[in-house]
Copies of this chain bind each other. A is one copy, B any other.
Amino acid sequence: MPSIDPIERTLSRQGHRLTGPRRAVVDTMRLLGNHFTAEEVQQALPAVGRATIFRTMKLMRELEMICQVVLDDGTIVYQLVGEDESEHHHHVICSDCGKVAEFTSDGLERLLEDVASMTGFEVGAHRIELYGQCDSCQKK
């Protein structure tokens, strides 16, 4: 039975099997919300072996379904990558609560062009991380 779930479909299309543990890990990540640690996923799924959790997360990282971010306190958290848009994006991270928002920007394209002409580099990959306060932490 083919799944309607976008993540499960991608896994399947890339030649990976859709097993119970894998579905459970994906569901749990969604349940945990915006960001989560490997440990949180593991604790939420005591029935699934540790190794499987790490293997699944490694696979998802390789397929760019999740990505890592370092919070100000040094904690490393994971986040599901935008599920509907396959577009290239970056993160704004809230220094207070750790909430991560994604953004894309046309301004970014212009920035890259500026840099290319200033430095003579042909810019390929880039990583941009912005830190600030999210709307709810601003109100506190």
Interface residues of A (CB under 8 A from B): 61, 67-72, 74, 76, 92, 94-95, 101, 103, 105-108, 110-112, 114-116, 118-135, 138
Contact = CB atoms under 8 A, between A and B. Distances in A.
A91 to B, nearest CB: 10
B68 A70 contact: yes
A128 B70 CA distance: 11
How many copies, total? 2
A117 to B, nearest CB: 10
Contacts of A118: 103, 105
18 contacts: A69-B127, A69-B129, A95-B125, A101-B119, A101-B120, A103-B118, A105-B111, A105-B118, A108-B111, A111-B111, A115-B130, A121-B130, A122-B132, A124-B132, A124-B133, A125-B130, A126-B130, A126-B131
Contacts of A133: 121-122, 124
